[in-house]
Amino acid sequence: MRDSQLRPLLPGGQVQSPSVHSFVPLTSIVHADVWKQRVSSSLVWARVTSNLRLYPDSTTAHPWKLFILLHLVAPQPRPVFPSEKTYITSSPSGKTTSSRQLPCWYDRWLAEHRQQNEAHARQDEATRPQDAGNIEPAEVRLSVVFPAYNEEERIIPTLEEAVDYLDEHIGRDKKANASLNPGPRRHHRVNSSSAHSEKEPSGYEILIVNDGSRDRTVEVALEFARKCHLHDILRIVTLVKNRGKGGGVTHGLRHVRGQYVLFADADGASRFSDVGRLIEGCEEVVDGSFRGVAIGSRAHLVGSEAVVKRSVLRNFLMRSFHLVLTILTPPATSRIRDTQCGFKLFTRESLPHIVPYMHAEGWIFDIEMLMLAESAPATPVLGSDGGVIGTTAGIKVAEVPIEWHEVGGSKLNVIQDSIKMALGLAVLRASWMMGVYRRRLT
């Protein structure tokens, strides 16, 4: 199947993401009669059969088999345990608090989204309203999510650097003026419900997602919070079962309160001094609904000593993965030179178009995030006078060069995880194209 057959042209000759790329998750299917109902009564099956006719090989003679196979192997996030929606922090007295309820924009968004779906249940796919992008107002300027698995030895230097930078440039007082302000916005916001107040929030929060660590990650983080008086600023949520880096990041993003949201690796390979550059890059690409993404990029370091010193095998696998990425991902995502850097920033308004539809919980999750951003519904583009002058499809992504250095103790198994990532990418792309994943909650 040729990609050009799936990508209609936009005004100006730009290529739009495949229409079949605008699918997201079917809920888990258990019984055979549910399989038949799902497939035969929905647009999914029409998409499947029309796409498979483009393939003359033997696999397409049995599209049901391929569809069912993808359902069996495609990642599906596990349900969240009640305790995973709580957090602990240090109290002003220095003691550890009892579990407190995490704020969760995702749960409220999901309830609203399902009500909307029920109200429009009798409408066909083409006439239903687009995905809701509403999200409650931000309470702080920046949320930082650290996924952490057995990071006892590496997380403290990272937290020290983060807090020093955030205290200086944002401050802890929510009433203070944040200094991380790139300047006047180039766009007005379209949706008044998401625009909230023009007054910028300030203050920050750090959310450590403990992904089932077996060491003292939680204890050392709490000790750091006590030492630095980060009561209710540094919050720790513990996942009952390990979910992988992607699962930890996605879980954290469901509970953030920030106007901007950053996730960063706990090993400190990236520098927090680059946060301001990410915000500036994000401001450059935001659309009329203030949706935008900025990702840290190490592409400019390819010829540097840090990369050259890597093993020949690791560099070969890196280039091979980039080749596979170029072939299997849609246009905008395929042009990104570094999809895997663990230093990505989102505007709050972009989260409802990405987070609810995430499936991948391993190393491949970064790519799914970027694909979801690219396939997000169109939004109006406003001129300087506030009038609508057009629309733009997808959420734009700014790739921002950052400082980076190799840190020992990585949990990445180069050969094994490279193979898993390549296979995972193939399954991910096929699941979207076949309708196993859909951009509509059912």
State the Cα–Cα distance between residues 49 and 60, nearest whole angstrom.
9
Q: What is the dihedral of CA 124, 130, 131, 133, to 10 degrees?
A: -160
Q: Which helix (H) or strand (E) holds 399?
A: strand 397-401
Q: Does residue 50 carry a pLDDT above 80?
A: no
Query: Locate tokens 């499947």: which residue?
Result: 48
Task: Give the mean model confidence (pLDDT) for residues 324-346.
Answer: 90
Q: Which residue has the higher pLDDT, 319 or 86?
A: 86
Chain mean pLDDT for the chain: 79
pLDDT per residue over 182-222, tens digit each? 544 444 444 434 444 457 899 999 999 999 999 999 999 99
Considering the entire predicted model, what is its pTM? 0.78
Please compute the mean of the pLDDT values over residues 231-253 and round it to a whole number. Answer: 96
Residue 231, both tokens: 């009561």
- What pLDDT does residue 12 have? 42
Does the pLDDT at position 237 exceed 70?
A: yes
Q: What is d(CA 48, CA 64) in angstroms, rounded to the nearest whole number?
A: 9
Q: What is the CA radius of gyration of the chain?
A: 22
Does position 63 have pLDDT exceeding 60, yes or no?
Answer: yes
Nearest to 409, CA basis, from 165, 209, 217: 217
The dihedral region occupied by 171, where left means phi > 0, alpha psi between -120 and 50, and beta the remainder, is left
What gap in Å lies between CA 268 and CA 404, rounded to an integer? 9
For range 393-406, the mean pLDDT: 91
pLDDT at 14 over 70: no
Q: What is the pLDDT of residue 58?
A: 41
Split at pLDDT 50, 70, 90, the class of 249 is very high
- Check whether 177 has a pLDDT greater than 60: no
pLDDT band at 17 (very low <50, low <70, confident <90, very high): very low
Local structure of residue 166 (DSSP, 8 states):
H
Fold for 3-434, please state it: Spore Coat Polysaccharide Biosynthesis Protein SpsA; Chain A (3.90.550)
Overall average pLDDT of the 146-173 stretch: 96
- Rounded to whole angstroms, what are the CA distances from 407 to 270, 297, 365, 402? 10, 16, 21, 15
pLDDT of residue 303: 62
Distance from CA of residue 295 to its chain's centroid? Answer: 11
